[in-house]
Structure 1
Amino acid sequence: MNHSRREFIKNTTLVVAGAALMPDHLFADPKKIERLGVQLYTVRDAMKTDPSGTLKKLYDGGVRHVEHANYIDRKFYGYTAKEFKKLLADIDLQMPSGHTVMTAQDWDKAKGDFTDKWKYTIEDAATVGQKYVISPWLDESLRTDMDGLKYFMEQFNKCGELCKASGMKFGYHNHDFEFTTKIGDGNLYDYILANTEPLLVAQQLDIGNMFGLPGGVAIDIINKHPGRFELIHIKDEIKSATNGEMGHGYESTILGQGLLPVRETLKLARKKGGTSQFIIEQESYQGKDPVDCVKIDLQIMKNWGY
């Protein structure tokens, strides 16, 4: 996720002890429906100018599930929840998950309840057919404020209850700062996982965002926290001619053409990570058309058995 993606997020928002010794099959949930989808941030520019046409192109390219990254003023890409649900249905697409940032301000301390704004967010997610409401950011002011962070993790769990009441699950999506921010003997990501209830708060592990950083190896993270990753953002990474999407020298590319052991990571995620939602996201294209990249990535995933 590059600087513009970080700005996009900011602007639109104004451990299991002994688990590593358990048999891997215990982390697979046979009741979970496995889905392969695409994060629409991959085709962000096209979604700005022609949402309907872009979604149709994705469908024609083999996509059946999408994940949104645009919910502003109770609208998805300019459509109300009911309108966007109909648009998806007309194309025969489903949207099981979506990204909407939850902040500490979405909890009204005086009332001891979520704000109406956040309740509408959950209501609209349910209306459009989501199964997961994913928050993809953690405000900088909370990252080293231990009292504030602890309270915010309680808010995560409360949001899990709120989503559960509507037949959904709340979740969190990582970037890179979770691995560079140290807390005690671990890092911020360890803290988030240790202080959120797995039955209420799903984790969406982005396997590329933290690549190249200490502690940023997805295989190691899955082994360290087995069963915790219901959703995964699938990326491959190459050295960037610029500073890269996350600011540490790498950018995403076509799956299988980069430095990440993507296939091995996904195999472990499926076997040990508890993963059922596999979501492709590519943010850099090396001169290719983003929709064409989606088609190639999707075919590679299908060739790998997804």
Structure 2
Amino acid sequence: MKNHTRRSFIKYSTLAGVGLMFLPSCLGQTMPSTGIQLYTLRDQMSEDPSGTLARVASIGYKEVESAGYGERQYYGLSAKEFRKLLDEHGLKAVSGHYLSGKQAPEKQGSLINGWEQAVEDAVEVGQKYMVCAYLFDFERETLDAYKETAELLNKCGEVCKSNGIQLCYHNHAFEFETLQGQVPYNILLSETDKDLLKMELDLYWTRKAGIDPVQLFIENEDRFPLWHVKDMDKTGEFAAVGTGEIDFSQIFANKDKAGLGHFFVEQDKIIGDPFENIKTSYGNLQKIIA
């Protein structure tokens, strides 16, 4: 990405025209299976992994992205046990979220502690992507901190690549907030090898920051193989997919420009029955991508 300021790539007045420019590129292309980020059901997965995955599969989801790995366990299960459980329910965990580990360096299973073993477990589970999920406040106070993260991501990306896995970075809104005159997200893009690190674009947080996802696709072609598909209501809060304000049809029309390989429904906070919520998201999304 060019070293733009934040203002330079959030001009929504051009969004519709840009989207139409790339609309033909998605015609006739196979749409990935609909997945779900299990952070959406973190409480349920903690209490009853098997029952939760059974209900996820019954709705129609085919893929999941794990959230919560440490000490060589996923939801209290070894990698082998987790893979067996997924297979029993006809699900594939194509991706998983992991942390840098700087917030708890003594714990194994992070980018800085036991990464080789984490990659080994990801291979056992069947993951094709490993994602750095979040940066804590102290990891994003300065541009130098972001540059250190970029260096770490390059290093960990090499380990992933040697094991047939692609490392990605998942954004929130803070990466797009100008810091010391620059946009941190630009640093994560420019200071990393595009083959060692790709991006998981969270569509909610990207729009929350006032950023046009399609413009990112144009400026960084094939850098966004993973998406989090989550909606935003009129107040800016989380909503079931298809019930909010985000124009997913226009974004999906540019999936080939992004290099989309997999996408996951996610909702950070849910009021009411979470399974009914993810069922609504699934049904609405099938209409959007049809």
In structure 2, the CA distance between the partners of 1:70 and 1:124, relative to structure 1 (3 Å rule), is same
Deviation at 1:151, TM superposition (A): 3.2
Deviation per CA, 1:17-47: give whole Å up to 9, x if none: 9xx9xx959x98x999934210011112211
Query: Are the equivalent residues in 2 in contact too, given 1:251–1:283 (CA < 8 A)?
Result: no
After TM superposition, the score normalised by the length of structure 1 is 0.78
Deviation at 1:273, TM superposition (A): 1.2
Larger deviation, residues 151-160 vs 218-227: 218-227
Query: Are the equivalent residues in 1 in contact too, given 2:72–2:121 (CA < 8 A)?
Result: yes
2:71 alignment counterpart: 73
Structure 2: state its 5+ residue gaps. 4-17, 106-110
Q: Which amino acid aligns with 1:294?
A: I
Q: Percent identity?
A: 34
Alignment of 1:264-279 (within 5 A): 264-268=250-254, 270-279=255-264
In structure 2, the CA distance between the partners of 1:105 and 1:40, relative to structure 1 (3 Å rule), is closer
Q: Does residue 259 of the first structure (1) align with residue 245 of the second (2)?
A: yes
Structure 1: state its 5+ residue gaps. 1-14, 108-113, 241-249
In structure 2, the CA distance between the partners of 1:58 and 1:194, relative to structure 1 (3 Å rule), is same
Query: Are the equivalent residues in 2 in contact too, given 1:183–1:191 (CA < 8 A)?
Result: no
Alignment of 1:1-306 (within 5 A): 15=1, 34-103=32-101, 117-184=114-181, 186-213=182-209, 215-240=210-235, 250-268=236-254, 270-287=255-272, 289-305=273-289
SS of aligned partner of 2:131: strand
Q: Which amino acid aligns with 2:89?
A: I
After TM superposition, the score normalised by the length of structure 2 is 0.82
In structure 2, the CA distance between the partners of 1:115 and 1:193, relative to structure 1 (3 Å rule), is closer
SS of aligned partner of 1:45: helix
Deviation at 1:286, TM superposition (A): 3.9
Deviation per CA, 1:272-302: give whole Å up to 9, x if none: 2111211110223343x11122222122222
Deviation per CA, 1:53-78: give whole Å up to 9, x if none: 01001111111100011112211011
SS of aligned partner of 1:220: helix
Deviation at 1:253, TM superposition (A): 1.1
List 4+ stretches of structure 1 deviating above 4 A: 30-33, 104-107
Q: Which amino acid aligns with 2:164?
A: G
Tell me the distance in 1 between the aligned counterparts of 2:62 and 2:155: 31
Query: Are the equivalent residues in 1 in contact too, given 2:157–2:166 (CA < 8 A)?
Result: yes
Query: Are the equivalent residues in 1 in contact too, given 2:129–2:165 (CA < 8 A)?
Result: yes
Q: Which amino acid aligns with 1:234?
A: V
Tell me the distance in 2 between the aligned counterparts of 1:190 and 1:238: 28
In structure 2, the CA distance between the partners of 1:138 and 1:31, relative to structure 1 (3 Å rule), is farther
Query: Are the equivalent residues in 2 in contact too, given 1:68–1:97 (CA < 8 A)?
Result: yes
SS of aligned partner of 1:156: helix
Deviation at 1:189, TM superposition (A): 0.8
In structure 2, the CA distance between the partners of 1:257 and 1:147, relative to structure 1 (3 Å rule), is closer
RMSD: 2.9
What number of residue pairs does the alignment pair up? 268
SS of aligned partner of 1:205: strand
2:12 alignment counterpart: none
1:5 alignment counterpart: none
1:9 alignment counterpart: none
Q: Which amino acid aligns with 1:285?
A: I
